[in-house]
Amino acid sequence: MNKSNVSVFIFSIVFFLLAACIIIFPGESFSFALEGLKLWYNIVCPALLPFFICVEILIGLGIVSLFGSIFRPLMRPAFNVPGEGSFGLFMSISSGYPVGARIIAKLRQEDLCTCVEGQRLLNLCSTSGPLFMIGAVATGIMNNPALGLFLAVPHYLSAFTVGFLMRYYKKERISGKDAHVSNPITDMLNHRKKDGRPVGMIIGDAVKAGVNLILIIGGFIIFFSVITGLLKISGFLESLSIMASKIIPFDSITPDIISGLLIGFLEVTNGVKECASLQLLLVYKLMIISFIIGFGGLSVNAQVMSIISETDLKFNVYFAFKILQGITASVYSYILFNCFSDLQVFSPDYTAGTGIWDISTHGSWIHVLMNSLINLLFVIVLMLIHFLIKYKRGRKHQSLFN
């Protein structure tokens, strides 16, 4: 029996058991699905849909080529990727999972990067957003906004570290396009001419693509909400945690810690809530939560797998480096905490994770939508400022030689 047949057999058993649990616990399954639906409707949809639509429009207008010309001198030496990847990096940092994966898949489909470059970019541009780490986790769950710094900084450092390591993944010859500096405006207009679609068609296609993607993400959120809930009420998670704690030769690793890690391995938000309520020193809570956010959970990874399924990018490579990113984020969190452990933000009043976060913490979906649009506008303004500075310097440099 080959590996393919074994995987089919295993998945058949797993999903058969899952379907049986849904039949055995119909009321609970409905409640868990409803919680996932509320999370998607109130938080995820208004936060990500504007980014998805705007990203599709900007790619159609050629903004990626403009960014490629501007940031090529930075992206190629640092991460061995084309400058076009900088657009995905900025958007991923500003908006979080899985915007970066969507952009990189689009770049690959448009042949703006090779398969190897796309593989490197996929891990570099796979980050959580600052709103989630600082707002939801640090403020809502851990009841201390100052802790957001000790989650966000290690998280982005881990992404840059993995991106730097990925530069050595399947070394290839640099194309001639990266050997010279080109005019950003010219590259943008050339891409626009090559695309050829009217602006109205670009906007219409962007809305359709954005809505389709947000619906897929909603399905994954609801599905994994049901899985996580059924694992809890069925007693399987508790039994597995107790069994694992007996196997691991460390008395400090309790079943509660293993349970929190397993939930975080499935889904980020619920895992963070479980780990924040553990009776642990704050530094260990931060390390565990940093790992969960850095890895992204199977829910986010499944979304990425769905997004890149129409490309030649390999999910197994991405998945392996996401585990490495989670470990690296955990190590950076430990180092940063010990460097600043004497600050007053670590007083006893703040060190107990309350686990009080719920959907109502974020207000209505309109409030979330407005925050998302403000963040998007802020990112675009920063991009324009950087472009104007770069463009003026280029004009000044050109005038000196004319």
pLDDT tens for each residue of 337-350: 888 866 545 544 44
Report pTM: 0.80
Instruction: Give, rounded to a whole angstrom, the gap between the first and last alpha carbons of the chain.
Output: 71
Residue 348 lies in a domain: no
The helix (run of H) or strand (run of E) holding residue 64 is: helix 63-79
Convert 283-304 to b/e letters by CB count within 10 Å (16 or more is b).
Answer: bbbbbbbbbbbbbbbbbbbbbb
Nearest to 299 by CA among 268, 342, 336, 338: 268
Return the pLDDT at 240.
86
Residue 254 dihedral angles phi and psi, to the nearest 5°: -90, 165
Residue 136 lies in a domain: yes
Domain count of the chain?
A: 1
**Which residue is listed with tokens 């939508």?**
369
Q: How many CB atoms lie within 10 A of CB 78?
A: 14
Residue 205 lies in a domain: yes
Is residue 75 within 8 A of residue 82, CB to CB? The reply is: yes
CB-side neighbour CA atoms (13 Å) of 206: 21
Residue 98 lies in a domain: yes
Residue 15 lies in a domain: no
Instruction: Give SS3 for 198.
Output: coil
**Domain hosting residue 210, numbered range:** 24-169+177-343+354-396
Residue 113 lies in a domain: yes
Return the pLDDT at 356.
40
Return the pLDDT at 361.
45
Return the pLDDT at 169.
87
Return the pLDDT at 164.
93
Return the pLDDT at 118.
93
- In which residue ranges of the chain is pLDDT below 50? 176, 179, 344, 347-362, 397-398, 400-402
pLDDT tens for 76-93 read: 888 999 888 888 898 888
**Rounded Cα distance, 152 and 290, in Å:** 9
Residue 69 lies in a domain: yes
Residue 3 lies in a domain: no
Q: How many CB atoms lie within 10 A of CB 252?
A: 8
**Rounded Cα distance, 18 and 318, in Å:** 26
